[in-house]
Amino acid sequence: MKDILTLGIESSCDETAAAVVLNGRTVLSNVISTSLDLHKTYGGVVPEIASRKHVEFVMPAIDEALNKAGVKASDIDYVGVTYGPGLIGALLVGLSAAKSLAWAWNKPLVPVHHIEGHISANFLQYADLEPPFVCLVASGGHSHIVNVKDYGVFEILGRTRDDAAGEAYDKISRALGLGYPGGPVVDKMAADGNPDAIQFPRVHFKDSYDFSFSGVKTAVLNYLNKANMQGEEISIPDVCASFQSAVIDVLSENAFKAVKELGYNKIALAGGVASNRQLRETMEKEADKRGISFYRPAPILCTDNGAMIAAAAYYAAEKKQRFAGLDLNAFANVSIEEI
């Protein structure tokens, strides 16, 4: 079989990323430029700033990805790009770059859904992983339990009805004065806290794999307001640990419920929140107990990156013949089931 090289381009939020992947599984380069520091002052991503930085970063990131991989433009077989969901102005920058290169190089353009990309990070980490499996996707914008039926074939089993898990982390972090993004710092603080110190609510819906994280977020905010008003001292590590446990318990329980009901023996993690230390440990233990294989990409593959987009593009092209014309548009909101 001929070796296939895929260039993956990602620009849906504040990371401008480009990567080259061999045969959908081996990362030859993975370049990530981020405008994160510029957004910190504002407590969240400012779309206009993100777009401007993408314009600045995108071509240098692609050049660097090709150089680091030791390949020439003419060696590339597919140009994969995120077309949604995400910030529309940000997506359009990566999309324009991908279209221009696909046209100039005369290579097929492959449209990739951002969540499909996150899930595909598992194929890079685990050479032998094949669908079907259940994937828990938790990021700043999404919390989904996905039935990965086949390459490029997805069914959403459960989703958040309000805030995404990462969004809840970011909001809690802001209320505690810990800055943006909240996930990494809350994760770190939680390591020194007592997860049973405060009982925050865990929401379960009957006959559903859906999530709700706005209740736990509000409970934390109310706890902080009350403590402030009464002049009580707050243990930030205890608040972080108790909040984190409430979120992780529900994420993990629903994901394992889905695996059991589908009769699968594989469960995977994906998305920015998948870097969370306690989430990884909790799911690993549960998987061991149930005799299920557990897959979790390295943190560099959990964050937004181009390699996951290239992996997804490879399978979309090879297994599904999914290609796009130069009229491909970006979509701020698009479901993984609509691919």
Residues in the site for ligand KG4, rule: CB under 6 A?
13, 139-141, 166, 169-170, 181-184, 187, 271-273, 275-276, 303-304
**Does 304 help bind Zn ion (rule: CB under 5 A)?**
yes
Q: Residue 30's binding partner, choosing from ligand KG4, Zn ion, none, with beta-carbon cut-off 5 to 8 A by kind?
A: none
Q: How many residues of this chain bind Zn ion (CB under 5 A)?
A: 2
Triad 129, 245, 301: Cα angle to 5°: 35
Cβ distance to Zn ion smaller for residue 98 or 176:
98
Q: From the CB of 44, what's the least distance to ligand KG4, in Å?
A: 10
Single-letter amino acid, residue 237: P
Measured CA distances, 339 to 7, 82, 88, 108, 110 (Å): 20, 12, 18, 17, 12
Cβ distance to Zn ion smaller for residue 139 or 212:
139
Q: Residue 183's binding partner, choosing from Zn ion, ligand KG4, none, with beta-carbon cut-off 5 to 8 A by kind?
A: ligand KG4
Q: Residue 276's binding partner, choosing from ligand KG4, Zn ion, none, with beta-carbon cut-off 5 to 8 A by kind?
A: ligand KG4
Longest dimension (CA), the chain: 70
Burial 82-94 (b: 16+ CB within 10 A, else e): bbbbbbbbbbbbb
Cβ distance to ligand KG4 smaller for residue 94 or 181:
181
Nearest C-alpha neighbor of 113 from the set 78, 89, 85:
85
Q: Residue 303's binding partner, choosing from Zn ion, ligand KG4, none, with beta-carbon cut-off 5 to 8 A by kind?
A: ligand KG4
Q: From the CB of 117, what's the least distance to ligand KG4, in Å?
A: 9
Transcribe 253-284 into DSSP letters. Answer: HHHHHHHHHHT-SEEEEESGGGG-HHHHHHHH
Binding mask 139-168 for Zn ion (x = CB under 5 A): x-----------------------------
Looking only at the bridges linking them, the beta strands covering 26-34 and 15-22 are antiparallel
Q: From the CB of 6, what's the least distance to Zn ion, in Å?
A: 19
Segment 102 to 141, residues that bind Zn ion, using CB under 5 A: 139
- Distance between start and end Cα atoms, the chain: 27
Residue 176 corresponds to which tokens in the numbers above? Answer: 């505690």
User: In the complex, which residues of this chain contact Zn ion (CB under 5 A)?
Assistant: 139, 304
